[in-house]
Amino acid sequence: MYIPKPIYQYAPYYWLVVGVLLALLGFRVGSEGGQMFQYFSVTLGALSCAWGVRIIFLRRAEQRLTTVDTAVSEVPPE
């Protein structure tokens, strides 16, 4: 499946924004009486934020490995 590069690059940040919005929604609506909705929304928000952070860290680790592999392969043989 093809995903355009700008959408792919910013996807972790979308997860973070969605997570924050869900948490805020849960606190706002939950304070008016929907305690089950509050727990559900805040939990989904936290999971969404955690997923976004996970993707960011995995991509950075992959990028570092690719950079190291490229640097090692460019070393001339002795």
- The pLDDT value recorded for residue 36 is 84
In this structure, the number of other CB atoms found within 10 A of the CB of residue 29 comes to 14
Report, as an integer, the average pLDDT of 24-53: 88
Answer for the pair 39, 22: CB distance below 8 angstroms, yes or no.
no
Q: pLDDT digit string (tens) for 40-74? A: 999 999 999 999 999 999 999 888 887 766 666 66
- pTM, two decimals, is 0.75
Answer for the pair 48, 12: CB distance below 8 angstroms, yes or no.
no
% of the chain exceeding 70 in pLDDT: 85
11 membership: H or E segment, kind and range: helix 5-30
Delimit the domains of the chain by residue range.
Answer: 7-71
- The pLDDT value recorded for residue 28 is 85
